[in-house]
Protein backbone atom coordinates (compact mmCIF):
# COMPACT_ATOMS: atom_id res chain seq x y z
CA UNK A 1 0.00 0.00 0.00
CA UNK A 2 1.34 3.45 -0.94
CA UNK A 3 1.46 5.81 1.99
CA UNK A 4 -1.29 8.41 1.92
CA UNK A 5 -3.59 6.35 -0.34
CA UNK A 6 -6.72 4.83 1.17
CA UNK A 7 -6.96 1.04 1.49
CA UNK A 8 -10.04 -0.83 0.30
CA UNK A 9 -11.41 -4.23 1.14
CA UNK A 10 -12.08 -6.74 -1.67
CA UNK A 11 -15.80 -5.98 -1.82
CA UNK A 12 -15.20 -2.27 -2.32
CA UNK A 13 -12.62 -2.91 -5.04
CA UNK A 14 -15.02 -5.24 -6.89
CA UNK A 15 -17.77 -2.63 -6.66
CA UNK A 16 -15.48 0.06 -8.07
CA UNK A 17 -14.42 -2.24 -10.93
CA UNK A 18 -18.04 -3.07 -11.79
CA UNK A 19 -18.95 0.62 -11.81
CA UNK A 20 -15.96 1.43 -14.03
CA UNK A 21 -17.00 -1.26 -16.51
CA UNK A 22 -20.58 0.00 -16.46
CA UNK A 23 -19.39 3.55 -17.14
CA UNK A 24 -17.14 2.31 -19.94
CA UNK A 25 -20.04 0.48 -21.60
CA UNK A 26 -22.29 3.50 -21.24
CA UNK A 27 -19.57 5.74 -22.70
CA UNK A 28 -19.08 3.43 -25.67
CA UNK A 29 -22.81 3.39 -26.28
CA UNK A 30 -22.91 7.17 -26.06
CA UNK A 31 -20.10 7.53 -28.61
CA UNK A 32 -21.87 5.23 -31.07
CA UNK A 33 -25.26 6.78 -30.46
CA UNK A 34 -26.70 3.48 -29.21
CA UNK A 35 -28.77 2.98 -26.07
CA UNK A 36 -27.65 0.17 -23.76
CA UNK A 37 -30.54 -2.35 -23.83
CA UNK A 38 -32.04 -3.62 -20.58
CA UNK A 39 -30.90 -7.21 -20.04
CA UNK A 40 -33.24 -9.51 -18.13
CA UNK A 41 -32.12 -12.99 -16.99
CA UNK A 42 -34.82 -15.41 -15.92
CA UNK A 43 -34.80 -18.95 -14.63
CA UNK A 44 -37.01 -21.22 -16.73
CA UNK A 45 -38.58 -23.91 -14.55
CA UNK A 46 -39.66 -27.23 -16.05
CA UNK A 47 -42.71 -26.85 -18.27
CA UNK A 48 -44.37 -28.05 -21.45
CA UNK A 49 -45.73 -26.60 -24.69
CA UNK A 50 -48.75 -28.33 -26.22
CA UNK A 51 -50.85 -28.33 -29.35
CA UNK A 52 -54.56 -27.55 -29.09
CA UNK A 53 -55.25 -31.19 -29.98
CA UNK A 54 -53.21 -32.39 -27.00
CA UNK A 55 -54.88 -29.86 -24.66
CA UNK A 56 -58.33 -31.13 -25.65
CA UNK A 57 -57.26 -34.76 -25.20
CA UNK A 58 -55.94 -33.99 -21.71
CA UNK A 59 -58.60 -31.52 -20.51
CA UNK A 60 -61.68 -32.22 -22.64
CA UNK A 61 -63.12 -31.21 -26.00
CA UNK A 62 -63.03 -27.48 -26.67
CA UNK A 63 -60.86 -26.70 -23.64
CA UNK A 64 -58.75 -23.52 -23.88
CA UNK A 65 -55.71 -22.74 -21.74
CA UNK A 66 -56.34 -20.09 -19.09
CA UNK A 67 -53.84 -17.52 -17.84
CA UNK A 68 -52.19 -18.07 -14.46
CA UNK A 69 -49.40 -15.51 -14.98
CA UNK A 70 -48.19 -13.45 -17.93
CA UNK A 71 -44.52 -13.95 -18.83
CA UNK A 72 -41.91 -11.42 -19.89
CA UNK A 73 -42.21 -12.14 -23.61
CA UNK A 74 -45.23 -10.46 -25.18
CA UNK A 75 -48.29 -12.73 -25.38
CA UNK A 76 -46.68 -15.66 -23.52
CA UNK A 77 -48.17 -16.97 -20.27
CA UNK A 78 -47.98 -19.69 -17.65
CA UNK A 79 -51.32 -21.49 -17.70
CA UNK A 80 -53.43 -22.59 -14.76
CA UNK A 81 -53.46 -26.06 -16.29
CA UNK A 82 -50.86 -28.62 -15.26
CA UNK A 83 -50.21 -32.25 -16.22
CA UNK A 84 -48.33 -35.24 -14.86
CA UNK A 85 -45.35 -36.50 -16.86
CA UNK A 86 -44.62 -40.22 -16.82
CA UNK A 87 -41.23 -41.37 -18.05
CA UNK A 88 -40.39 -44.74 -19.67
CA UNK A 89 -39.38 -46.15 -16.28
CA UNK A 90 -42.80 -45.19 -14.78
CA UNK A 91 -41.30 -42.44 -12.65
CA UNK A 92 -43.36 -39.27 -12.60
CA UNK A 93 -43.16 -35.50 -12.33
CA UNK A 94 -46.50 -34.08 -11.15
CA UNK A 95 -47.85 -30.54 -11.62
CA UNK A 96 -45.91 -29.85 -14.81
CA UNK A 97 -46.96 -26.35 -15.87
CA UNK A 98 -48.21 -25.73 -19.41
CA UNK A 99 -47.07 -22.53 -21.12
CA UNK A 100 -49.39 -20.84 -23.57
CA UNK A 101 -50.54 -20.08 -26.11
CA UNK A 102 -50.72 -23.45 -27.85
CA UNK A 103 -48.02 -24.32 -30.37
CA UNK A 104 -47.76 -26.59 -33.39
CA UNK A 105 -45.80 -29.28 -31.52
CA UNK A 106 -45.66 -30.95 -28.11
CA UNK A 107 -42.50 -30.41 -26.11
CA UNK A 108 -41.42 -30.88 -22.49
CA UNK A 109 -38.48 -28.87 -21.16
CA UNK A 110 -36.69 -30.20 -18.06
CA UNK A 111 -33.57 -29.40 -16.08
CA UNK A 112 -30.84 -32.03 -15.69
CA UNK A 113 -31.91 -32.83 -12.11
CA UNK A 114 -35.46 -33.46 -13.39
CA UNK A 115 -34.13 -35.99 -15.89
CA UNK A 116 -32.33 -37.80 -13.07
CA UNK A 117 -35.60 -37.94 -11.13
CA UNK A 118 -37.26 -39.56 -14.14
CA UNK A 119 -34.32 -41.86 -14.84
CA UNK A 120 -33.88 -40.40 -18.32
CA UNK A 121 -30.94 -39.31 -20.42
CA UNK A 122 -32.37 -36.28 -22.20
CA UNK A 123 -30.54 -34.34 -24.93
CA UNK A 124 -29.78 -30.63 -24.93
CA UNK A 125 -31.69 -29.14 -27.85
CA UNK A 126 -32.92 -25.85 -29.19
CA UNK A 127 -36.66 -25.43 -28.76
CA UNK A 128 -38.65 -27.20 -31.51
CA UNK A 129 -35.68 -29.43 -32.46
CA UNK A 130 -37.24 -32.58 -31.07
CA UNK A 131 -36.62 -35.23 -33.72
CA UNK A 132 -35.23 -38.37 -32.10
CA UNK A 133 -35.58 -37.05 -28.55
CA UNK A 134 -36.99 -38.82 -25.49
CA UNK A 135 -40.55 -40.14 -25.26
CA UNK A 136 -43.06 -39.94 -22.42
CA UNK A 137 -46.74 -39.82 -21.45
CA UNK A 138 -48.73 -36.83 -20.20
CA UNK A 139 -51.71 -37.37 -17.92
CA UNK A 140 -54.50 -34.81 -17.51
CA UNK A 141 -57.87 -34.84 -15.76
CA UNK A 142 -59.71 -36.01 -18.90
CA UNK A 143 -57.21 -38.27 -20.61
CA UNK A 144 -53.63 -39.01 -21.60
CA UNK A 145 -51.30 -38.04 -24.44
CA UNK A 146 -48.41 -40.22 -25.58
CA UNK A 147 -45.37 -38.31 -26.79
CA UNK A 148 -43.15 -40.35 -29.15
CA UNK A 149 -40.50 -37.67 -28.67
CA UNK A 150 -40.20 -34.10 -27.36
CA UNK A 151 -38.62 -34.31 -23.90
CA UNK A 152 -35.51 -32.12 -23.91
CA UNK A 153 -33.21 -30.01 -21.84
CA UNK A 154 -33.52 -26.65 -23.59
CA UNK A 155 -30.31 -24.98 -24.73
CA UNK A 156 -29.58 -21.88 -22.69
CA UNK A 157 -30.54 -18.99 -24.92
CA UNK A 158 -31.17 -15.27 -25.25
CA UNK A 159 -34.17 -13.71 -26.96
CA UNK A 160 -33.33 -10.57 -28.95
CA UNK A 161 -34.99 -8.08 -31.24
CA UNK A 162 -33.10 -7.14 -34.42
CA UNK A 163 -32.01 -3.86 -32.77
CA UNK A 164 -30.60 -5.76 -29.77
CA UNK A 165 -28.73 -8.08 -32.13
CA UNK A 166 -27.28 -5.07 -33.91
CA UNK A 167 -26.14 -3.59 -30.59
CA UNK A 168 -24.30 -6.78 -29.62
CA UNK A 169 -23.04 -7.46 -33.13
CA UNK A 170 -24.60 -10.91 -33.41
CA UNK A 171 -27.13 -12.68 -35.62
CA UNK A 172 -29.75 -15.41 -35.23
CA UNK A 173 -28.28 -18.73 -33.99
CA UNK A 174 -24.91 -17.22 -33.03
CA UNK A 175 -23.47 -18.07 -29.61
CA UNK A 176 -22.56 -15.67 -26.81
CA UNK A 177 -21.34 -15.86 -23.22
CA UNK A 178 -23.31 -14.78 -20.16
CA UNK A 179 -21.43 -13.53 -17.10
CA UNK A 180 -23.34 -13.46 -13.81
CA UNK A 181 -21.72 -11.76 -10.84
CA UNK A 182 -23.05 -12.83 -7.45
CA UNK A 183 -21.45 -12.72 -3.97
CA UNK A 184 -18.50 -15.15 -4.03
CA UNK A 185 -20.07 -16.89 -7.03
CA UNK A 186 -19.20 -15.29 -10.36
CA UNK A 187 -20.16 -17.65 -13.20
CA UNK A 188 -19.70 -17.55 -16.96
CA UNK A 189 -22.05 -19.60 -19.16
CA UNK A 190 -20.82 -20.34 -22.66
CA UNK A 191 -22.84 -21.50 -25.70
CA UNK A 192 -25.65 -19.00 -25.07
CA UNK A 193 -27.77 -19.46 -28.20
CA UNK A 194 -28.97 -16.24 -29.82
CA UNK A 195 -32.58 -16.22 -31.04
CA UNK A 196 -33.62 -13.12 -32.97
CA UNK A 197 -37.19 -12.11 -33.81
CA UNK A 198 -38.94 -8.72 -34.14
CA UNK A 199 -41.42 -9.76 -31.43
CA UNK A 200 -38.75 -10.58 -28.82
CA UNK A 201 -37.71 -8.51 -25.82
CA UNK A 202 -34.13 -8.93 -24.58
CA UNK A 203 -34.22 -11.84 -22.14
CA UNK A 204 -31.93 -14.73 -21.23
CA UNK A 205 -33.39 -18.10 -20.25
CA UNK A 206 -31.37 -20.53 -18.14
CA UNK A 207 -32.82 -23.56 -16.39
CA UNK A 208 -33.28 -23.96 -12.63
CA UNK A 209 -30.09 -26.01 -12.19
CA UNK A 210 -28.06 -23.29 -13.87
CA UNK A 211 -29.80 -20.53 -11.91
CA UNK A 212 -29.08 -22.26 -8.61
CA UNK A 213 -25.46 -22.90 -9.57
CA UNK A 214 -24.77 -19.22 -10.28
CA UNK A 215 -26.85 -17.90 -7.34
CA UNK A 216 -29.04 -15.92 -9.76
CA UNK A 217 -31.41 -14.69 -7.06
CA UNK A 218 -28.56 -12.68 -5.50
CA UNK A 219 -26.86 -11.60 -8.72
CA UNK A 220 -25.35 -8.12 -8.63
CA UNK A 221 -24.65 -7.86 -12.36
CA UNK A 222 -25.46 -9.73 -15.56
CA UNK A 223 -23.79 -9.10 -18.90
CA UNK A 224 -23.65 -10.67 -22.35
CA UNK A 225 -20.27 -11.01 -24.04
Q: How confident is the model at residue 14 (pLDDT cuts 50, 70, 90)?
A: very low
49/76 Cα distance (integer angstroms): 11
Please compute Rg for the chain using Cα positions: 21
139/38 Cα distance (integer angstroms): 39
Consecutive H or E run containing 1: none
How much is the pLDDT for 6? 42
- pTM of the predicted structure, to 2 decimals: 0.83
Q: How confident is the model at residue 89 (pLDDT cuts 50, 70, 90)?
A: confident
Write the pLDDT tens digit of every residue in 16-62.
444 544 544 444 454 456 678 999 999 999 999 999 999 999 999 99
Domain spans, the chain:
36-41+156-224, 45-154
How much is the pLDDT for 33? 60
Q: Is 9 exposed, middle or buried (0-12, 13-18, 19+ CB in 10 A)?
A: exposed
Q: Is 214 exposed, middle or buried (0-12, 13-18, 19+ CB in 10 A)?
A: buried
CB of 125 closer than 8 Å to CB of 95: no
CATH of domain 36-41+156-224: 2.40.40
128-145 mean pLDDT: 96
Write the pLDDT tens digit of every residue in 65-80.
999 999 999 999 999 9
Amino acid sequence: MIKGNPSYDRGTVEQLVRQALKNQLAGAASRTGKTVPLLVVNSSARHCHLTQEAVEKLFGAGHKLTVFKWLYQEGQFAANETVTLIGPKKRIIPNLRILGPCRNLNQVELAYSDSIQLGLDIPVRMSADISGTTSGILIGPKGSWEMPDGIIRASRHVHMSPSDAEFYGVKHLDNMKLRITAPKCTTVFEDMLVRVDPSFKLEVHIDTDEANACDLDRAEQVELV
